[in-house]
Structure 1
Amino acid sequence: MKNNFIPFNWPHMTGKELDYIKESYLKGRLAGDGPYTKRCHEWLEEHTGCNTALLTHSCTAGLEMAALLLDIQPGDEIIMPSYTFVSTANAFVLRGGVPVFVDIREETMNLDERLIEAAITPKTRAIVPVHYAGVGCEMDTIMQIAKRHDLKVVEDAAQGILASYKGRVLGSIGDLGAYSFHETKNVISGEGGALLVNDPELAHRAEIIREKGTDRSRFFRGEVEKYTWQEVGSSFLPGELIAAFLWAQLENAQTITDGRLVSWKHYHELLAFFETRELLSRPVIPEHCHHNAHMYYVLLAPHIDREKVLLELKRKKINSLFHYVPLHSSPAGKRYGRVHGTMVVTNRLSERLLRLPLWFGIEAEKQNQIIDSIGGILTRVKR
């Protein structure tokens, strides 16, 4: 943060990461599924209530494992929002699946559950809700739809650790869930992720798929005399040094979340004035959702030019960002997926969304500076 530059994100270190990495180094435990991996698995299982948690080298890997577990075949359709990261679609396209893009809710930027049922065809195999900004999708309705149509639900909870929907932790509600521990997330390991297996019938296969399609994990537990190739899989597990870093973060996950919530609420209070003047809209958190302050975004009023806002903030050394380019409008999205219905909300809101700098420990003074800058800019940058 040189020359008073305010970055979009600043990775938080607890101070224990290097100690745990050093311990693994000195003990010669470098490959995956060592003691720290086990601790991370136990923490995730305890805090989410999932049947089995498995660390992966990314959330992308967790979603790819989900596609393998569901045995996605060429032509199978998977319903998902277009307003999401490319991995949500890529994981299924790699198996020949077809993403079916459905519009989002204006209040939360989440998949609009009211549009899902009309998008279901005989080829539909799964629904993939994405919990945007750590705010839960309407999972009761989504699970009911899935049950009626015999579909699987894979929660893309990349942004959702320690957030919940009606008291249930995000990622633990569907058949499968995936977390991200990327540097930009609340709890980090540089790169990294996890697959939460909530359906007990999928747990054994998940372990095999993660270990190159072998029963190697059972061998190391002494359950089989030798391990061999059982089915299609890949190397989805991270090394032990990644798990050691992550363990230091998980030990402090609630403290990190609480601190981010303080900063999120400060933004929310500061921006109320600009919402009353109809210059922007603040995030909406449904009463039955407990979010984790993963992100603070605003939706600029239609008459505000977002590109000019971003440029002005950059000149003031503030790194604010837009977010996803909707997948349905991308070259690959048009090639591999299809749209159901209109994308009116997705198209409109994706052009107005602005993310503000937020990390654990951001000073209130910096937040005040950011909002003061935005306030001055919004009165000048009309379309």
Structure 2
Amino acid sequence: MIPFNKPYLTGKETEYITDAVISGKISGNGKYTQKCQQFFETKFGFKKTLLTTSCTDALEMAAILIGIKEGDEVIIPSYTFVSTANAFVLRGAKIIFADSLPNHPNMDCSTLEALITSKTKAIVPVHYAGVACDMDTIMELAKKYNLFVVEDAAQAIDSYYTGKDGIKKPLGSIGHLAAFSFHETKNIIAGEGGMLVVNDEQFINRAEIIWEKGTNRSSFFRGEVDKYGWVDIGSSFLPSEIIAAFLWAQLENLENIQKIRKQHWDAYQSQLLSWAKVNEIELPFIPEYSTNNGHMFFIKCKNITQRTQIINKLKAKNTHSVFHYISLHSSPYYIEKHDGRILHNTDNFTDTLLRLPLFYELDVQTVINQILE
């Protein structure tokens, strides 16, 4: 059986977890939390990072920080995981869905300006499969209309965007805020886990307070205040040291993990090229302004029938391939709240996108051979 995903263990996870337990500090914001946060701030130049129990939590923190309230509008792609929307719906926002590009599930930025109204508060680009959205266009619109940008970078660790200025920037470093995921399906994992990135300095102090249940506890432990108390709204967003210790073992091996995943991705891309052309299947498109982080290899089938046939034929060979999101604008919860626009490209990806297995220990050649057969 070749599963769709298999979590990769570097070998140091249990060693660091044991160390965290023995230290007597396992409740969070200890040694391993600090090591992980420092890693991201140093390697990727993020201004401030805060580990969270999930990417969902990081998005919910972002919604609080930018002051989302009842009646605000937030623009997100319809082709995304429900957490992207939920974080803002929980604060009372109305979601305005953007269609995907014809050749990639990322939001079509050429359609965004028409969706902006006096009630629009934020744009939330999702870097699907670790491929960058057109961030120059998004940031220009944000500046023009005084909007916040929250990057949903759940799948985008170690991926980059090169803008019109020619500068290569890590995804998650461009918007005012960003959210990452360390779920077991991601490149770097902690079982569950996430991270909020704060790039706008106006949010740094408050982010830490919200992260610590609305208290200034972190300031107290740094000796900045003589006692701590409840100073704002917040919740228990920080993870335990056990999660952070697991994550640290992964981060130490980031370069090696990325190298192997990209090799698998490249093997798919090169060896399936002729097969895809013959069968009218589209392989992944990477814009010139984006890098590829080897998070996911997906194909775009001709129609839902063809996709189902491929899934079934691979399943008969004991290989598990899966489709992905169902359009959020047509979901049971939001269909009556949607403004009625037909999002053709999003619906097309719902029916035709198929993800092939991609994980560190994958025997990618066997899967390729099965597909070619």
Classify the TM-score, shorter chain: over 0.9
**CA 1:319–1:281 in 2, change beyond 3 Å: closer, same or farther?**
same
Partner of 1:379: none
Change in CA separation of 1:261 and 1:289 when aligned onto 2, cut-off 3 Å:
same
Q: Distance in 1 between the 2:175 and 2:34 partners?
A: 23
Residue in structure 1 matched with residue 281 of structure 2 by the alignment: 280
Q: Confirm or deny: 8 A CA contact 2:33 2:244 kept in the other structure.
A: yes
Picking from 351, 355, 368, the partner of 1:371 is 368
Structure 2 distance, partners of 1:301, 1:274, is 13
Per-residue CA distance 1:121-146 (angstroms, 9 max, x = gap): 11100000000000000001100011
| 2:2 matched residue in structure 1 | 6
Once residues 340 and 140 of structure 1 are traced to their aligned partners in structure 2, the CA distance between those partners, rounded to angstroms, is 28
Answering whether residue 71 of structure 2 is matched by residue 75 of structure 1, we say: yes
Give distance in 2, aligned partners of 1:283 and 1:110. 12
- Aligned partner of 2:235 in structure 1 is 234
- Runs of 5+ unmatched residues, structure 2: 163-167
Name the CA shift for 1:340/1:199 in 2 (closer, same or farther; >3 Å): farther
Counterparts of 2:190 and 2:308, CA distance in 1: 32
Deviations 1:294-337 (A, max 9, x none): 000000123853223222222221110000011011011224x4
Alignment of 1:29-68 (within 5 A): 29-68=25-64
Quick check: 1:100–1:340 contact (8 Å CA) kept in 2?
no
* 1:130-141 → structure 2 map (5 Å cutoff): 130-141=126-137
Question: 2-side partners of 1:323 and 1:216: how far apart?
Answer: 40
* SS of match in other structure, 1:281: coil
Superposition deviation, residue 339 in structure 1: 4.1
1:332 aligns to 2:333 (yes or no): yes
1:233 deviation in Å? 0.7
**RMSD, aligned CA:** 1.2
Do the aligned residues in 2 keep the contact of 1:165 with 1:288 (CA within 8 Å)?
yes
In structure 1, C-alpha distance between the alignment counterparts of 2:309 and 2:284, rounded to whole Å: 22
Letter in 1 for 2:77: P
Tell me the residue number matched to 1:207: 208
Matching residue's letter, 2:57:
A
Give the match for residue 83 of structure 2: 87
> What displacement does 1:188 show?
0.3
User: After superposition, what is the alpha-carbon deviation per residue over 1:339-381, rounded to whole angstroms, capped at 9, x for unaligned?
Assistant: 4743011111220000000001312xxx2332333334xxxxx
Does the C-alpha gap of structure 1 residues 372 and 112 become closer, same or farther in structure 2, counting only changes over 3 Å? same
Alpha-carbon separation, structure 2, partners of 1:132 and 1:153: 16
Q: In the alignment, what sits opposite 2:361?
A: 361
Q: 1:303 to 1:79 in 2, by over 3 A?
A: closer
Q: Structure 1 counterpart of 2:44, which letter?
A: T
Matches of 1:45 and 1:157 in 2, distance apart?
15
1:255/1:340 Cα in 2 relative to 1: closer, same or farther (>3 Å)? farther
Residues 304 and 351 of structure 2 are in contact (CA less than 8 Å); yes or no, is this contact kept in structure 1?
A: no
Q: Distance in 2 between matches of 1:99 and 1:270?
A: 40
Q: Give the SS at the match of 2:101.
A: coil
- Residue aligned with 1:333, SS: coil
Structure 1, unpaired ranges of 5+: 377-383
Deviations 1:236-281 (A, max 9, x none): 0000010001011111112111110000000001110122214311
Alignment of 1:1-383 (within 5 A): 5-166=1-162, 167-302=168-303, 304-335=305-336, 337-339=337-339, 341-363=341-363, 367-376=364-373
Range with bigger deviation, 104-113 or 296-305: 296-305
Q: Distance in 2 between matches of 1:35 and 1:368?
A: 41
For the 8 Å contact 2:33–2:245, the answer to whether it is kept is: yes
Provide closer, same or farther for how the CA distance between residues 182 and 231 of structure 1 changes in structure 2, counting only shifts above 3 A. same
Is the 8 Å Cα contact of residues 279 and 304 (structure 1) preserved in structure 2? no
The alpha-carbon deviation at position 338 of structure 1 amounts to 2.4
* Secondary structure of 2:272's aligned partner: helix
Q: Deviations over 1:15-60 (max 9, x none)?
A: 1111111111111111100011001010111122121000000000
Look up the SS of the partner of 2:300 in the other structure.
Answer: strand
SS in 1 for 2:196: strand
For the 8 Å contact 1:101–1:340, the answer to whether it is kept is no
8 A Cα contact 1:102 1:340, kept in partner: no
Distance 1:118 1:303 in 2: 31
Bigger drift between 296-305 and 199-208 goes to 296-305
Percent of pairs identical after alignment?
50
Q: Which residue of 1 is the match for residue 165 of structure 2? A: none
Partners of 1:210 and 1:303 in 2: how far apart? 43
Aligned residues: 368
Q: Which residue of 2 aligns with 1:380?
A: none
